[in-house]
């Protein structure tokens, strides 16, 4: 089974920044789009941002202007730069591979990381 490995989570004050990283096997990274999802306790897992193999991007309205997704194809790593963090951004952030977009919106692929906790609090 493919293993995606997230890192970079932690505790940050409101208005602060964090950068999450997700390392993936090259066999997956080279052919699949990558994405970030997040899930807070008691809530559904929600889409955050995605990046295709040609580096086109899309992101949720809730994070536009604050979060930026990018990928380094030489390192097989996808990043999520999170700026101007808010308490409502607190969640476990999951890396995902193999998803895409339909008319109704984004959908995840079958491959998930274990998640990394992001806590935004004073």
pLDDT of 2 strictly over 70 = no
The answer to whether 109 touches 97, Cβ cutoff 8 Å, is: yes
Instruction: Provide the pLDDT for residue 49.
Output: 97
The CA distance from 92 to 117, in Å, is 4
Q: How confident is the model at residue 28 (pLDDT cuts 50, 70, 90)?
A: confident
18's tokens: 């964090």
Sheet containing 18-23: order of strands:
5-7, 18-23, 77-82, 67-72
Rounded mean pLDDT, 8-33: 94
Instruction: Provide the pLDDT for residue 120.
Output: 98
Instruction: Provide the pLDDT for residue 73.
Output: 92
The CA distance from 51 to 70, in Å, is 7
């Amino acid at each position: 089974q493919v293993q995606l490995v997230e890192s970079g989570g932690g505790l940050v004050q409101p208005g602060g920044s964090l950068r999450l990283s997700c390392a993936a096997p090259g066999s997956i990274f080279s052919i699949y789009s990558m994405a970030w999802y997040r899930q807070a306790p008691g809530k559904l897992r929600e889409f955050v941002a995605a990046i295709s193999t040609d580096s086109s991007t899309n992101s949720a309205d809730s994070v536009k202007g604050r979060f930026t997704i990018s990928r380094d194809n030489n390192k097989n790593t996808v990043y999520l730069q999170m700026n101007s963090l808010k308490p409502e951004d607190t969640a476990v952030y999951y890396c995902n591979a193999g998803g895409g977009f339909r008319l109704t919106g984004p959908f995840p692929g079958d491959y998930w990381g274990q998640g990394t906790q992001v806590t935004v609090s004073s």
